[in-house]
Amino acid sequence: MLSLSHVCVVTVATLLSTTLAGQSTGEPAPPVRNDAKEGSEARKPVAPPVAPAGVQRVEKIEVKTSQDNYDARREDTATKIVVTEEEIGKFGDTQLADVLKRQPGITVTGGDIRMRGLGGGYTQILLNGERAPQGFSLDTLSPSMVERIEILRAATAEFSTQSIAGTINIILKKKVSVAQRELKIGYSTGRGYLYPEGSFVVSDKADKFSYSFNGNVYKGRNDYHSSAEETGTDATGNLAFDRPITAVFKGDFLGASLSPRLNWTLAGGDTLSSQTYFSQNRSHSDIERRYSFVLGPDVLYPTSLVHENRSFTVARTDLNWVRKLAEGAKLDVKFGLNYALRDTQFYQRALTKANVQNLDSEVLSAAKDGGFTFTGKYSTPIVEGHALVAGWDTGLSKRTEYRDQRDKPLPGVSPVISYEDFAASVLKLAAFVQDEWNVTTDWSVYLGVRWEGLTTTSDGNTYDEIRNRSSVWSPLMQTLYKIPNRKGEQVRLALTRTYKAPGTASLIPRRFTSTNNSPTDPDNQGNPNLRPELATGIDAAVEKFWEQGAMMSFSAAVRRITDYNRRGLVFVNGRWVSMPINSGTANTKSIEFDAKFPLQTLYKEAPPIDFRFNMNRNWSSVDSVPGPNNRLAQQTPFSATIGLDYRMKGGEVTAGGSYSFKSGGTVRTSQTQSTYLTPRRELDVYALWKFTPKTQFRLTLANVLRQDYLNESTYFDQFGSLKLSSTFPSSMQVRVNLEMKF
């Protein structure tokens, strides 16, 4: 795999670089340097080169008055990829995960967003530059409400350094340049799946006040069948039992979200803005799960019937004041509040093999989250070529939760009657300072340091108070060097110190029980002694940019993780229990290739087609787990995406597609456990018709290949093995969207 991917990268890079470089003409454009962080209007002009004697030089003057024309990926010292609003809406996706899976270096597995193939919280998800509140899910955020997505491969001091794999910053819509009235109506359908939705944007400005309202409503239904098989062998390898399993899932859901933003321009150029996000979601589901018995003993609950009602509400609001000071300095202060409420009603009945009821359980639970954030930063151009930023990041979040289980008495069955309540709080204190220094016109350096401390406190009626403190110093360095006399060619290097703090749920010793307890389906509980994982990393990249947005990049990264966190499995009081534990050191490496260009930059007579291609290869190893395949749990070893976009002359029709491949394979997660994920192949295509400048219709076919999901979990010891193989069906989705502006 390594040699093949290496050959592909070198071959494509060489051909593309040679062809495009051969067609570059004209004088090199004067480089533009970003003298401050994002949002700064300052740009440092660079003197044009002197023409040789005897040669008449034609001056080329390029004036950029809009921040939209600024290419952050090319110009920022701190590496950043920006996914624009146009790219977000290209395929008419209903979920942000579908948008992200096509971006370079990002994979999506079971709704888990991953950079460098790493899941389990290694990738930091931010909402408007801040960590999302507890309980927030990307599934509740419509792509139509997002202005842009920023992908940061290496950490910066301004954001939290809980970003071992990288950071994805989701920016909600806030720009108001002209009055806007926009309505989108969409409908998606597939085998057992329906999803109608609608969204709107209303914005306007008057004198020194502007506003924007973004909203989304949706309703859907899921209906699918899945299958599984549980098999076991004895110490000699002979088959001891074989239990096929079938499951039927039926569910419906509905929800709405609203994101208003208000902006005021104050005297002296100061600004005051408020952004609010509100989301409400309700769902109902019925699950029927049945065991068949080919060989071996019965399980305790051969037939399980579950009905579940869920309600989830999340609200977040902030007030942001930006004060302009003398000599280009600026103070940016933000205060935010957040609230979330989750309510669950869970009913389960179970039957024996003879259809005699042996379980009738009702579990009512609710969790409430609330808190505040207070952040700020002061920026100033201290001396020529330097942009200094210093700031703070504080916040407090509290969570209260209860779980009430009431089983009905049945003949020969001991019912479970229990009530548990919990309370937890997380206090965050952080401070940072960073400086971006333009050493020369071709070389810039970013230096930063961040201290971040977390104090977690929890207590409940089933355990004593637990207090956990952790803090991390994160020195950071990034540099960008533009190679002189090599137009568009540049190199990057980053040195980072990042970490991953345990989530509150991972620290609380509350146990979640499984219905048919086994090594492959254990109970789960937290570990109050869990420590943060610390990572030291190096990132490097070589980049080439041409006209018309063409570019090519090759990057590599290395991370060394100490106090690695993995799931441990123990047998306690007759039940299997899984809990997180710190387990030594892990190492991960990755290489990535990314290219995009219009075909007309290669051949002027080519059709108007834009081409994009990226691939990512990852390796890792865990010292405390024997090999082979002892890589980080469920890491994606290899992924690749290729896409084409066609633009008809005049712009009336745009069409394109995206094909992605994601490898799977076996991962050994402990001395006695392993998992297997099937390779994935996905194809999405779309077509957009612009009937008028303000009305357009979009058709999308998603998951055209309809490949099913296959997962395996295996436990093995000296007494034998147990394997659970699950297959989940997949279907093609047809999506239609009508988009109108008024």
Per-residue pLDDT reduced to its tens digit, 130-166: 887 666 777 778 888 899 999 999 999 999 999 999 9
The candidate with the shortest Cα–Cα distance to 116, out of 673, 537, 731, is: 537
Confidence band of 529 (pLDDT split at 50, 70, 90): confident
Amino acid at 440: T
Residue 135 has a pLDDT of 64
Q: Give every CB contact of residue 63 below 8 A, 6+ residues apart in sequence.
A: none
Q: Are 100 and 114 in contact (CB under 8 A)?
A: no
Arithmetic mean of pLDDT, 721-728: 94
- pLDDT the model gives residue 724: 95
Please list, in sequence order, all residues whose beta carbon lies within 8 angstroms of the beta carbon of residue 206, skipping any fewer than 6 positions away: none
The pLDDT, as a whole number, for residue 592 is 96
DSSP for 686-716, please give it.
Answer: EEEEEEETTEEEEEEEESTT-PPEEEEEEEE
Are the beta carbons of 588 and 619 closer than 8 angstroms? yes
- Asked whether residue 59 carries a pLDDT value surpassing 50, the answer given is no
pLDDT at 43 over 70: no
Query: Does 40 score more than 50 pLDDT?
Result: no
How many CB atoms are located within 10 Å of the residue 571 CB?
10
Task: Please give the CATH number for the structural domain made up of 2-741.
Answer: 2.40.170.20
* Tens-place pLDDT, residues 279-290: 999 999 999 999
The answer to whether the beta carbons of residues 694 and 740 sit under 8 Å apart is yes
DSSP 8-state symbol, 11: H
Q: What is the pLDDT of residues 95-116, one digit of tens each?
A: 888 899 899 889 888 778 889 8
- How far from 246 is each of 45, 252, 293, CA to CA, in Å? 67, 21, 12
The sign of the dihedral angle between the CA atoms of 90, 96, 102, 105 is positive
β partners of residue 386? 437
Residue 226 has pLDDT above 80, yes or no: yes
Query: Who's near 170: CB < 8 A, 6+ residues apart?
Result: 96, 125, 126, 127, 128, 138, 141, 146, 149
Per-residue pLDDT at 68: 54
Q: Closest Cα to residue 245, out of 233, 230, 224, 231?
A: 230
> Which residues make beta-bridge pairs with 737?
186, 698
In this predicted structure, the answer to whether residue 30 has a pLDDT above a threshold of 60 is: no
Give the pLDDT confidence of 351-394 residue by residue, as tens digits.
999 999 999 999 999 999 999 999 999 999 888 888 899 999 99
Q: How confident is the model at residue 118 (pLDDT cuts 50, 70, 90)?
A: confident
Judge whether residue 32 has pLDDT over 50. no
What number is the average pLDDT over the span 637-650? 90
What mean pLDDT is reported for the chain?
A: 87
Lowest mean pLDDT among 98-102, 120-124, 243-247, 455-459: 120-124
pLDDT grade, residue 229 (50/70/90)?
A: very high
Please state, as a whole number, how many other Cβ atoms lie within 10 Å of the Cβ of residue 293. 14
CA end-to-end span of the chain: 52
Over pLDDT 70: what percentage of the chain? 90
Q: Is the pLDDT at 318 greater than 60, yes or no?
A: yes
Cis peptide before 409 (omega within 30 of 0): no
Does the reported pTM lie above 0.85?
Answer: no
Boundaries of every domain in the chain: 2-741
- CA atoms in the 13 A half-sphere facing the CB of 639: 27
The per-residue pLDDT for 69 is 66
pLDDT in tens, 689-702: 999 989 999 999 99
Residue 680 has pLDDT above 50, yes or no: yes
